[in-house]
Amino acid sequence: MSARIFKTSNSAELLEGMRTARMSIGRGDVVAIPTDTQYALVADAFKPAAVAKLRSARGMPANAPLSVFLPGIPTLAALAEHVDEDVKTLAQEFWPGGLTLIVPAGESLAWDLGETKGTVALRMPGNRIALELLSETGPLVQSGAFIQGEKPLVSPSAIAKRLGDAVSVFLAAGEEKPGKEFSTVIDATGVGHPGGKLRVVREGLIPLTDIFHAVPAERFA
């Protein structure tokens, strides 16, 4: 059985879908949502069983690292051990949007994101539906809504069919339709050390020319 798909372009269905998604996340289930890059699977990061369900839905190894969606920039300071000025600049320039920032994780975080070596990958997605849900749930663990090793799909019905009953609720995009692009990923875990620099892990939705316009290229290794 596939996930129940809610067409969020319809206001009544959006309200019902949001309520159902919140309840599902609260129960520890996996929900699919639209983002500005592609559809994503989200779950309660503080429920180990929910995180395990998300990994299982994608066919990921038990300790595979996962990233986190944030509802807003202020949450960055709450989840990171330290926020460098360049990280603040990048977040203010490109959030909400297709930029993932890897930072040292705060010591008080009681969740299992896999083999992250004391780091956490954070993003504030640039999608109205995603941000509305996050504003009500708080940070959620996330990963792409496709089987690991396969290409991303863009049709909600196709994704729901592929993932089957591993996902309980699917919030389909309205006018802001996701594609197959990935976020641009910047590793900022080295900047807290003497001579440490930012590092580009992946160029995605946001071109590096835009990144280097916000933070000079010489700040990168």
Per-residue pLDDT of 182-220, as tens digits, reads 999 999 999 878 889 999 999 999 999 999 999 999 999
pTM of the predicted model, to two decimals? 0.94
Class of the domain covering 4-219: alpha beta
- CB distance 131 to 96 below 8 Å: yes
pLDDT at 126: 95
Q: Which of 22, 119, 25, 131 is nearest to 73 (CA)?
A: 131
- What residue spans define the domains of the chain? 4-219
State the Cα–Cα distance between residues 190 and 209, nearest whole angstrom.
21
Per-residue pLDDT of 32-64, as tens digits, reads 999 999 999 999 998 999 999 999 999 999 889
